[in-house]
Structure 1
Amino acid sequence: MGLNVKKQRPVNLDLQTIQFPVTAIASILHRVSGVITFVAVGILLWLLGISLYSQEGFLQAAAIMNSFFVKFIFWGILTALAYHICGGIRHLLMDFGCIEENLATGIRSAQVAFVLTVVLSILAGVLLW
């Protein structure tokens, strides 16, 4: 005999009014960057396969990479990979006990991961263009 108890919880489905903490944003972006990196592996392997097939294939891959749109996508892939690596190192340092697992340290390490990603993203842009 289960009691039908109605729970009085506030329901807020307007995501624009919710302010996520930095640690939540870091976690969500780490997952998104992992998915982007996973999908990008297929694209990059396809491009590598074309370039290694023959000399004409290499020239075709080089021509594909000369497009601004493709360079922009490649820059996005490199940025996602950089963030995923920074976030992964952050998690490994916490798992091994090198970084304390408290709110202040979590916020600071997330901010460091963001800053490192921006620096690596700018570096990737300089190298691509």
Structure 2
Amino acid sequence: MAHSDAKAARPLSPHLTIFRPLITMVMSIVHRITGAALYFGMLLLAWWLVALASGPEAFGTVDRFLGSWFGMLILFGFTWALVHHMLGGLRHLVWDTGAGFTRAARNGLAWATIIGSVLLTLLIWIVAFIAR
């Protein structure tokens, strides 16, 4: 049996403090966070639907909350999370086809996900306010 006090000559596990964050690392983490945010955002949708079915008073309460600056901020964040998660899913779909694995393609898809999610979210909200 090997001596238990002998130090093993093996590398330590890499940690975020050792590596410089890569854009693909950040996108992986953000994709998971937006997935969790969408889970909780569905509670807002359920609240809205239950209030809609419950009558004008219940719906008015939800409408006042979601129409407030705080509610709009939450809805804006939910919209961004939805768009970002969708674009991240499309990025993974591209990878599932076997394409986009070069360093330039990976980074390009990651940046396209970030920029596209922000621009699409702004576009959705601008169109919504114009249509309102």
TM range (shorter): 0.7 to 0.9
Aligned length in residues: 127
What SS class does the counterpart of residue 76 from structure 2 fall into? helix
AA in 1 matched with 2:52: S
Match of 1:118 in 2: 118
Shift of 1:58: 2.2
Distance 1:34 1:2, change over 3 A: farther
Q: CA RMSD in A?
A: 2.5
CA offset digits 1:68-123 (Å, max 9, x no partner)? 011101111111111000100110121023x3322221111111111111102222
AA in 1 matched with 2:89: G
1:37-116 superposed matches below 5 A? 37-97=38-98, 99-116=99-116
Shift of 1:49: 0.9
Distance 1:11 1:89, change over 3 A: closer
CA distance in 2, matches of 1:74, 1:128: 13
CA distance in 1, matches of 2:2, 2:51: 63
Percentage of identical aligned residues: 24
TM-score, length of structure 2 as denominator length:
0.80
Match of 2:32 in 1: 31
Q: Is the 8 A contact 2:48 2:59 kept in 1?
A: no
Match of 1:21 in 2: 22
CA distance in 1, matches of 2:94, 2:26: 19
TM-score, length of structure 1 as denominator length:
0.82
What SS class does the counterpart of residue 107 from structure 1 fall into? helix
CA distance in 2, matches of 1:96, 1:13: 30
> Structure 2: any 5+ residue segments left out of the alignment?
none
AA in 1 matched with 2:103: L
Distance 1:13 1:103, change over 3 A: closer
